[in-house]
Amino acid sequence: MEHLNPGSPRACHEDAEPLDLVCVGAGAKGVAVAAKVHALNSCTDMGLRVAVVDAVAPGAHWRGDSGFTSGHETLGTRPEKDVGFPYRSERSFPRVHEALNDEMIRLSWARYLIDRTGYSGWVDAGVQGVTHRRFAEYLSWVVERATNGISHLTERVTRVDRVDDALWTVTTVAPGGAVRTITARAVMVTGPGAVRALDVEPSAAHLVLDARSPRDALAALGRAGARVCVVGAGESASSAALAIAASTTQRLHIELMTSGLVASRAESPVENRVYSDPESVDWSRRSEHERRHFIRRTDRGVISGDAVARLMNDDRVVLTEGRVLSVWERDGRAVVRVRRGEQISDVPFDAVVNCTGFDAAEGVRALLGPTTEVALEAMLEVPLADVAEHGALAHDLALRGVTPPLFVPALAGFAQGPGFANLSSLGLMSDRVVAAVAARRARRGAPVGGLASVDARRGVADAVLR
* 179-219 pLDDT tens trace: 999 999 999 999 999 999 999 999 999 999 998 998 889 99
pLDDT bucket at 305, cuts 50 / 70 / 90: confident
* Eight-class DSSP state of 5: P
Question: pLDDT at residue 450 above 70?
Answer: no
Does 306 have pLDDT greater than 90?
no
pLDDT tens column, 223-233: 889 999 999 98
Q: Are 216 and 190 in contact (CB under 8 A)?
A: no
- Which strands form 406-407's sheet, in the order they lie side by side? 2-3, 150-153, 50-53, 21-24, 187-189, 406-407
Output the average pLDDT for the chain. 89
Q: Is residue 110 classed exposed, middle or buried when 0-12, 13-18 and 19+ CB atoms within 10 A define those classes?
A: middle
Distance in angstroms (rounded) separating the CA atoms of residues 38 and 148: 5
For residue 454, the model assigns a pLDDT of: 41
Per-residue pLDDT of 315-324, as tens digits, reads 999 999 999 9
pLDDT at 443: 86
Contact, 48 vs 193, CB < 8 A?
A: no
Q: Check pLDDT > 80 for residue 257.
A: yes
Across 403-424, average pLDDT: 95
Q: What is the pLDDT of residue 72?
A: 82
Please report the pLDDT score of residue 466 as a whole number. 56
pLDDT attached to residue 457: 43
Under the banding of pLDDT at 50, 70 and 90, the label for residue 350 is very high
pLDDT at 465: 57
Query: pLDDT, tens digit, for every residue of 135-193?
Result: 999 999 999 999 999 999 999 999 999 999 999 999 999 999 999 999 999 999 999 99
Assign 259 a pLDDT band (cuts: 50, 70, 90): confident
The closest alpha carbon to 30, from 4, 58, 63, belongs to: 58
pLDDT reported for residue 190: 96
- Which stretches of 147-198 are DSSP H helices? none
**pTM exceeds 0.85, yes or no:** yes
- 459 pLDDT exceeds 60? no
The CA distance from 193 to 189, in Å, is 9
Distance between CA atoms of 201 and 197, rounded to whole angstroms? 12
Non-local (6+) Cβ contacts of 64 within 8 A are 70, 71, 72, 132, 133, 215
**b/e per residue, 117-142, with b = 16+ CB within 10 A?**
eeeeebeeeeeeebbbbbbbbbbbbb
CA separation for the pair 288, 294 (Å, rounded): 10
Q: Which pLDDT belongs to residue 301?
A: 66
**What confidence tens digit (pLDDT) does each residue in 361-397 have?**
999 999 999 999 999 999 999 999 999 989 899 999 9
Residue 67 has pLDDT above 60, yes or no: yes
At residue 265, the pLDDT reads 62
Domains with residue ranges and CATH for the chain: 2-194+359-465 (3.50.50.60), 197-265+304-356 (3.50.50.60)
Residue 346 in this model has a pLDDT that exceeds 50: yes
